[in-house]
Structure 1
Amino acid sequence: MSRNGGADSMRPRASLRTAVVWEVLRDALDRQAKATGRDVLDVLDTGGGTGNFAVPVARLGHRVTVVDPSPDALFALERRAAEAGVTDLVRGVQGDTHGLLEVVGPESYDVVLCHGVLEYVDDPAEGVRNAVGALRPSGTLSLLAASRGGAVLARALAGHFVEARHALDDPDGRWGDGDPVPRRFDADGLTRLVADAGLRVGPVHGVRVFADLVPGVLVDTEPGALEELLRLELAAAEQPAFHAIATQLHVLAHRGDR
């Protein structure tokens, strides 16, 4: 059971950047709860920072452990959890994906979130393996990472054609030395990491297919534009044709036969 009036009232508001992932994740949590026969799940958010996903998940009534290397982020997480009234359901632990199983128990979680982590770790394959190691035998992994294609398109539309070509050809999908993102993925590469870690790959979603391309002033001033853009994002998310231009890619995967 969710707190304060049900799951729909707990949805993150007015954020196109997370809307698609949240819709998918909320449904995955519901399915996982039904599969396990438990209303309250144990959820791990590795690299979860200040709780952008952890706190809304806790407001659905689940127990969430956030592992993050930043003490400042964990302090902000604690404050956000208190403001949301879910302090009893959110626990922050200092650590990183490399040493994940040293700070959380193996096979202890029904769902593991690994959002915005693989771009920055030294070894993405190890990062996925560690996340999988924290999953219970029938658990679900939610993986979100930056997309190469979205970066190429963004640089080209900004008129930075040399940088766009560099991102297209670079093994890590970087557009140059000034690129703040160390690594980007395509759908094949991301799903391969998941499959190699022993999981069954589920749906792949393109995230922020249009949201980063539409002028903000249009969304802010045109009546109903935000809601229609959200509907468009949700409709395009699962269509493979749009994965190549999405800013991020999201993969759901499952341990075991479920």
Structure 2
Amino acid sequence: MRPRAALRTAVVWEVLQDALERRVKATGRQALDILDTGGGSGNFAVPLARLGHRVTVVDPSPNALFALERRAAEADVADRVRGVQGDALGLFDVAERGGYDVVLCHGVLEYVDDPAEGVRNAVAALRPDGVLSLLAAGLGGAVLARALAGHFTEAKRALDDPDGRWGAGDPVPRRFTADRLTALVEDAGLTVGAVHGVRVFADLVPGVLVDTEPGALDALLKLEAAAAELAAFHSVATQLHVLGERRGTPGA
């Protein structure tokens, strides 16, 4: 479990934890208020609560929220995790506008009808000088994966499709380039602090190699961390992570 979990989240966690430390210093509060849109069963929410933060998870799935509740109880952080049913486009039916130090929007924009509105809502949920952590599927990673699997027609289709889909059987409704994601963030009024490629190599390396070769996991994690910051690798990453900062007063 550790290899797969570590490879999928290591880069995002490192960036997010640095951002949280800066917010703690800036606010003088050890416990931040965090909103996790589409947070599901708590892959990020529960570890964040373990750090002492208060986390509200908004997710449309009752099953995911039930799993979140159970997971938070098992981790003894149920008092710091609240799950509510809702989605990014109806966010303020269940969440407070301008009420959060940090907003996570991970794996959401691929599925909402209007990604721009989803980002605007996430931004409107931030307090002044708050931080947005945005994670979405990358176009280049999907094209590369289809090509390496020998599905060249599907790879070309994804490359040409406005939503980055490789066909009717594609389970992901929409993918993004780094330029498109940063434009969404900037158009919503944020300053882009960093862009990282996530899972640049991890999805291409045979799992048996990572699980059995001595030192392979640590070496791959270091490689992922080094490549994540280089713009040259953003175009082939499976996911893209954008960190944005809100400056000024909350939006209306």
Alignment TM class, shorter chain as reference: over 0.9
1:68 to 14, 34, 59: 59
Work out the CA distance in 1 between the residues paired with 2:156 and 2:26.
46
2:68 corresponding residue in structure 1? 77
1:41 to 32, 46, 70: 32
2:82 corresponding residue in structure 1? 91
Secondary structure, aligned partner of 2:89: coil
Q: Establish whether residue 182 from structure 1 lines up as the match of residue 173 from structure 2.
A: yes
Work out the CA distance in 2 between the residues paired with 1:179 and 1:13.
28
Which letter does structure 2 place at the counterpart of 1:23?
E
2:159 corresponding residue in structure 1? 168
Note if contact 1:152-1:167 (Cα within 8 Å) is conserved in structure 2: yes
**Matched ranges for 1:48-59 at <5 A:** 48-59=39-50
TM-superposed deviation, 1:102: 1.6
1:40-75 deviation line (CA, Å, top 9, x unaligned): 000000000000000011111000000001111000
TM-superposed deviation, 1:19: 1.0
Work out the CA distance in 1 between the residues paired with 2:48 and 2:17.
8
Work out the CA distance in 2 between the residues paired with 1:102 and 1:138.
23
1:197-246 deviation line (CA, Å, top 9, x unaligned): 00011100000000000111111110010011001101110100000000
TM-superposed deviation, 1:160: 0.1
Q: Which portions of structure 1, spanning 4 or more consecutive aligned residues, are displaced by more than 6 angstroms?
A: none
Equivalent pairs counted in the alignment come to 246
Q: Establish whether residue 139 from structure 1 lines up as the match of residue 140 from structure 2.
A: no
1:32 corresponding residue in structure 2? 23
Which letter does structure 2 place at the counterpart of 1:17?
R
Give the unaligned 5+ runs of structure 2: none
Secondary structure, aligned partner of 2:176: coil
2:121 corresponding residue in structure 1? 130
Give the unaligned 5+ runs of structure 1: 1-11
Secondary structure, aligned partner of 2:88: coil
Secondary structure, aligned partner of 1:204: strand
1:235 to 206, 226, 244: 226
Work out the CA distance in 2 between the residues paired with 1:65 and 1:152.
35
TM-superposed deviation, 1:112: 0.1
Which letter does structure 2 place at the counterpart of 1:158?
A
TM-superposed deviation, 1:22: 0.8
1:86-122 deviation line (CA, Å, top 9, x unaligned): 0110000110001001211100000000000000000
Work out the CA distance in 2 between the residues paired with 1:28 and 1:181.
29
Work out the CA distance in 2 between the residues paired with 1:233 and 1:61.
28
1:7 corresponding residue in structure 2? none
Give aligned-pair identity as a percent. Answer: 79
Which letter does structure 2 place at the counterpart of 1:235?
A
1:194 corresponding residue in structure 2? 185
Note if contact 1:129-1:197 (Cα within 8 Å) is conserved in structure 2: yes
Work out the CA distance in 2 between the residues paired with 1:167 and 1:174.
5
Note if contact 1:101-1:133 (Cα within 8 Å) is conserved in structure 2: no
Note if contact 1:33-1:39 (Cα within 8 Å) is conserved in structure 2: yes
1:141-195 deviation line (CA, Å, top 9, x unaligned): 0000000000000000000000000001100000011100000000000000000
Secondary structure, aligned partner of 1:67: strand
TM-superposed deviation, 1:13: 4.7
1:111 corresponding residue in structure 2? 102
